[in-house]
C-alpha cells in the first residue's frame, strides 16, 4: 500500500531543496522579458509574478545553503571531491548574496512607482526591467555554476544518501567481499 515516505532530517533535505532555487530563479527572467514586452498596464502583473518567483527562489537558497552545510558535515572527503565541495560551498554563499541584492533591486523597481503613486511607464516596466536582466545574468552565472558543482559531487563523486533513514541490516552496507567473509 502506498504511504508517505519517512520525513527527511535537516541534512537529508538538501537534495530536495536545491531544485527550488534552480527552477524558480531560472524561470523568473522569462516573466521579466514577457512583462517588458507587453504594454505597461499588462506587463506589470508579469513583473510582479517574476518578483514573487525571485523572492521565493532567494528564500530557498538560504534553506539550501543551511541544509547543504549540514549535509557537508556528513560527507566523506576524498582528494578530488574536497576541492569541488569547497568551490560549491563558496559559490553557494556568493549566489545567496547576489540574489538577495537582486531581490531588493526588483522589489524597489516595482514598489517605488507604486508608493509614489506614479503611473507605469515604459521606463518602469520595460527599460529598467531589461537593465535589471543584465545584472540578473551575473546571478544566473553563479547559480548555474553552483548547481554544476553540486551535480559533480553527486554524479562524479557519489556523494548521496548520507545516513539511512531507518536502521538497516548493517552487513548489507558492507562491501560484498567483506560480507562473504562474515
Between CA 50 and CA 114 the distance in angstroms is 16
| Options 20-28, 73-81, 111-119, 140-148: segment touching another protein (CB under 8 A) | 73-81
Nearest-approach distance from CB 35 to another protein, in angstroms: 32
Span from 37-45, 97-105, 130-138, 164-172 in contact with another protein (CB under 8 A): 164-172
- Whole-number Å distance between alpha carbons of 22 and 54: 11
* Phi–psi pair at 117, nearest 5 degrees: 55, 40
Per CB under 8 A, which region of 28-36, 46-54, 84-92, 99-107 contacts another protein? 84-92
How far apart are the C-alpha atoms of 71 and 82, rounded to whole Å?
Answer: 14
Gap between the Cα atoms of 150 and 116, Å rounded: 43
Q: What is the rounded distance in angstroms from the CA atom of residue 36 to the CA atom of residue 40?
A: 8
- What is the contact mask toward another protein in residues 8 to 37, using x (rule: CB under 8 A)? -xxx-x------------------------
Total number of residues binding another protein (CB under 8 A)?
A: 31
- Kindly tell me the burial class for residue 34, based on how many C-beta atoms sit within 10 Å of its own C-beta (0-12, 13-18, 19 or more): middle
Residue whose CB is less far from another protein, 134 or 166: 166
Q: Which stretch binds another protein (CB under 8 A): 29-37, 69-77, 112-120, 139-147?
A: 69-77
**Which residue of 74, 104, 123, 135 would you call a contact of another protein, by CB under 8 A?**
74
Task: Using the structure block, give the residue that is written with the C-alpha cell 553563479.
Answer: 142
5 binds another protein (CB under 8 A): no
Distance separating alpha carbons of residues 52 and 58, to the nearest angstrom: 10
| Sites of contact with another protein (CB under 8 A) | 6-7, 9-11, 13, 63, 66, 69, 72-77, 82, 85-86, 89, 162-170, 172-174
Amino acid at each position: 500500500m502506498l504511504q508517505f515516505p519517512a520525513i527527511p532530517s535537516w541534512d537529508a533535505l538538501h537534495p530536495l531543496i536545491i531544485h527550488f532555487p534552480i527552477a524558480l530563479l531560472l524561470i523568473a527572467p522569462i516573466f521579466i522579458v514577457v512583462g517588458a514586452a507587453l504594454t505597461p498596464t499588462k506587463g506589470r502583473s508579469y513583473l510582479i509574478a517574476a518578483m514573487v518567483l525571485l523572492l521565493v527562489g532567494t528564500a530557498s537558497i538560504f534553506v539550501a545553503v543551511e541544509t547543504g552545510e549540514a549535509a557537508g558535515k556528513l560527507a566523506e572527503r576524498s582528494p578530488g571531491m574536497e576541492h569541488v565541495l569547497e568551490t560549491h560551498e563558496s559559490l553557494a554563499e556568493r549566489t545567496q548574496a547576489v540574489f538577495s541584492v537582486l531581490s531588493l533591486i526588483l522589489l524597489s523597481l516595482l514598489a517605488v512607482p507604486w508608493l509614489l503613486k506614479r503611473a507605469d511607464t515604459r521606463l518602469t516596466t520595460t527599460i529598467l526591467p531589461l537593465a535589471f536582466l543584465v545584472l540578473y545574468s551575473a546571478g544566473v552565472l553563479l547559480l548555474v555554476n553552483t548547481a554544476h558543482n553540486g551535480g559533480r559531487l553527486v554524479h562524479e563523486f557519489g556523494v548521496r544518501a548520507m545516513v539511512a533513514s531507518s536502521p538497516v541490516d548493517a552487513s548489507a552496507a558492507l562491501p560484498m567481499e567483506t560480507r562473504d567473509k562474515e
